[in-house]
Structures are given as structure tokens and as C-alpha cells.
Homo-oligomer: A and B are copies of this chain.
């Protein structure tokens, strides 16, 4: 096992990881709840690293854009915390749910307060708070502004077809939103909030862009390349904690167990994973395991973590 401080040969390590998962790419099933995702070729793989020292490493289709889907919840949460502040925690918890990403059972038992901002219900109420923080600004523009600041890349946007498809097939999310509204948890017009939510899910990025977008989470809130202040260290500690405990739906514990670093997956097949003090990893492979997380992507991160001793639960100096 490498140690984080022993300066691993990253180019070689990501090649090893990509090679080891080669036969697993395509195993599982792509998300099929909207046509725009169902038609994605499952046999794709990309892996990008952005280190806090400025170096980047890439393998696979790292220039192909994909729908980041639930990974956007990380950026929405960051934006909402920046603007809405701690009041967010009045309407959303920070506990793992023990149920699937779109489950409504817990909402009924707990008075419409979602367990955490990374399940759908929690992300919708987080989006509601983001909408509330906007006066003459489009909440999506506010969110994209943060992503652009984090990446120093103006060329990041929404896949309109995916966004419209999400809205058309959005009955389950609509149900979650109205359910919370019936408990008085939602503040704004439901369709306005949902359209913001569907758009953020439809943000399209490459792994190269995504790994850079997460780099501030490895560096206490400041993008170390540009020096842009994205958020505070205090919020970073909390966002990373939520990623670790809740970032992979009802497989979050398993990801912590096997990979040992904060991560957030999306049903588009992407995963963003953070090694505090070291860097940000983005992996993409569209075929999902039964919990809705990229099968090959999870495996690649597990291999990297093991080979480079990335787990936050190990002594980084040994």
C-alpha cells in the first residue's frame, strides 16, 4: 500500500485502475427513467484527478460530457449554504436515510423533513432555499456561477433535452415536493423549484471539469489553482461529512467501507470523490449497480484508494 505522503506515481496508478476495471465497464444498467439517459452507451469510462498542487491526471473519455445528475446536489448545497446560511438545517437533516434515494416513507414518519440534502427530497428543499435566496437572479445562474468560479471554466452549462425530459418524467420528484409542501416545509411555487432542480440535475460536464469543480472541497474551500474562495472551511468539513455518510444513497456505508473517502454519485454514472489535502477525483461510467451508483466507477475508486492509501480513516503518514 502506498502512502499519501509518499507521492504516488499517479499517471501509473490511474492507468492500473482503468485497466483493472476494463472488463467491468458496461456491467449493470444505465438509468432508464428518462429517454435522454436510457440512450447513453454504457461502455464508456473516464477518470480525472485534480490535485491541490495543480497537477491533473486523466485516462479514458475525459473530454466527453455527461449528465452529472445528483452530483449537482454538492454544488447546490454549497451555494445554498453560502447564501441561505444555517437556516437550511431547519428544513433538512444530516443523517443517512437507510432507504433509497427517492423514498418517501421517512418523510411521512418525520413530518416532511428530509434526512439529508443528498437524497432527492433533501435536494429539492435545498433548492427551495436557494430559490428563496434569489431576488432578481435566476437560481440556476447563481449555481452555475459557483461551478464556474470553482473551475475557472465559463464553458459549463445545462443539457436542455435532459432538463425537459426530467420535467416530463418528474412525477416522483413532484410527489416528494408536494408531500413536503403539505407539511409546510416548502416556501416557493413547486413547479418553479422543480424546474430549477431538474435543470441542475441536467448540468453536463466532463470528468476533467468535474474533478476541478470539486477541488475546493479538498482544500478547505479555496480553489488552490486560482485562489478563488468558494466557501468556508467549516462548510467544507460539513459538506464532505455529508458526502461520506450520505453520498451514495443506500450504499453510502459500503463506499465508506471500501473506498474510505467522501464521494457523491449520480445516476448519469459519475462520481466525485474528495481526498482532503490531496485532491479531487472524478470518474464516469454509465452502467449502474442496483443502488444507482456507477459500477466500474466505484471499483476504480476502490482500487485507487487501496493502492494509494487514500482512506481518511488511515494514518496518512504511514
Cα–Cα distance between A251 and B313 once the two chains are bound (Å): 19
Interface residues of A in 223-263 (CB under 8 A from B): 233, 236-242, 244-246, 250-254, 256-257, 260, 262
Majority SS at the chain A contact face: helix
Is A87 positioned at the interface, with any CB of B under 8 Å from its CB?
no
Cα–Cα distance between A107 and B171 once the two chains are bound (Å): 14
Contact between B172 and A312 (Cβ–Cβ < 8 Å)? Answer: no
Measured between C-beta atoms, what is the minimum distance from A216 to chain B in Å?
11
* Count of interface residues, chain A, beta-carbon cutoff 8 Å: 61
Contact between B245 and A256 (Cβ–Cβ < 8 Å)? Answer: yes
Is A176 positioned at the interface, with any CB of B under 8 Å from its CB?
yes
Q: Which chain B residue lies CB-closest to A33?
A: B182
The proximity string for A residues 101-119 relative to B, scoring 1 for CB distances below 8 Å and 0 otherwise, is 0011111110000011000
Is A290 positioned at the interface, with any CB of B under 8 Å from its CB?
no
Is A155 positioned at the interface, with any CB of B under 8 Å from its CB?
no
Q: Which chain B residue lies CB-closest to A275?
A: B315
Is A318 positioned at the interface, with any CB of B under 8 Å from its CB?
yes
Q: How many copies are assembled?
A: 4
Known: A105-B105, A312-B312. A95 touches B253 (CB 8 A): yes
Is A26 positioned at the interface, with any CB of B under 8 Å from its CB?
no
Set B106, B178, B218, B241: member contacting A171, Cβ < 8 A: B178
Cα–Cα distance between A52 and B315 once the two chains are bound (Å): 10
List the B side residues contacting A1 at CB < 8 Å.
233
List the B side residues contacting A246 at CB < 8 Å.
253
Contact between A313 and B96 (Cβ–Cβ < 8 Å)? Answer: no
| 7 tightest Cβ-Cβ pairs between the two chains A and B | A98-B98, A240-B313, A96-B96, A277-B315, A95-B253, A175-B178, A172-B182
